[in-house]
Amino acid sequence: MDFAPVRGSRRPTPAAKRTLIPLKILVAGGFGVGKTTFVGSLSEIPPLSTEQEMTSLSVGVDDSAAVPDKTTTTVAMDFGRITVDDQLILYLFGAPGQNRFWFMWDELARGAVGAVVLVDMRRADDCFAAIDYFEDRRLPFAVAVNQFPGGPAYPEDAVREALALPPDCPLVRMDAREIRSSLDTLVILVEHALARSAHAGAH
């Protein structure tokens, strides 16, 4: 520690005494599918971006010893915040969808309420990796087909079949630019997570 000795009260401030509970929901999907738009439509703070280190594990070779000033590579990730009530604060993380970012997802998925998988049906393949990931980890997720203007409206059955969705997985058609539409999507995900949790508790 590099702090000088300090005097004073260790009593918490009023904010520190409050019971505060952070929550998180992941927003996954392929590049350009609308993750940033979705997070931005819901966030009470201007959408921000954080840099997350890519670990030596994920880049394959640890050459940090040879290059002491450049220990890690970083990748940007969007996030937003919703103050739910006086105790609960929900964070939304827009997670990059490519396989090489899985190392970030393991940390992000830990303790998460669930995930919204955003899909552009013109590039449906982009979301398969995310769907497989959440199924494997048994993280509750909802699939949200982001309707792009002028795009075709695919029938629900066709979408479910094309994406090989589990029967209980919620599927919504939405517009990530509209706060109401994005909020409804979150509500549907949380209803699903609660139902799963209640079901698990009953057995």
Among 36, 56, 72, 171, interactor with other proteins by CB under 8 A: 72
* CB contact at 8 A, 28 and 118: yes
Among 27, 28, 90, 165, interactor with other proteins by CB under 8 A: 90
Closest among 45, 43, 24 to 176, alpha carbons compared: 43
CB of 172 to other proteins, least distance (A): 14
CA distance 129 to 94: 15
The distance of Cα 74 from the centroid of its chain, to the nearest Å, equals 18
Closest among 176, 152, 199, 191 to 47, alpha carbons compared: 176
Among 112, 117, 121, 163, interactor with other proteins by CB under 8 A: 112
The residue among 120 and 175 lying less far from other proteins, judged by its C-beta, is 175
Q: What crossing angle do the helices spanning 102-109 and 128-136 adopt, rounded to 10°?
A: 40
In the window 1-40, what residues touch other proteins (CB under 8 A)? Answer: 1-4, 6-13, 15-16, 18-24
In the window 139-198, what residues touch other proteins (CB under 8 A)? Answer: 139-140, 183, 186-187, 190-191, 193-194, 197-198
CB of 202 to other proteins, least distance (A): 11
The residue among 28 and 112 lying less far from other proteins, judged by its C-beta, is 112
Among 84, 153, 158, 164, interactor with other proteins by CB under 8 A: 84
* CB contact at 8 A, 79 and 12: no
Size of the site for other proteins (CB under 8 A): 62
Closest among 127, 124, 75 to 97, alpha carbons compared: 127
In this structure, which long-range contacts are made by residues 56-59, counting pairs with CB atoms below 8 Å and at least 24 apart in sequence? 57/103, 58/100, 58/101, 58/102, 58/103
Binding residues (CB under 8 A) for other proteins: these are 1-4, 6-13, 15-16, 18-24, 45-46, 48-53, 71-72, 74, 79, 81-82, 84-85, 87-91, 93, 107-108, 110-114, 139-140, 183, 186-187, 190-191, 193-194, 197-198, 201
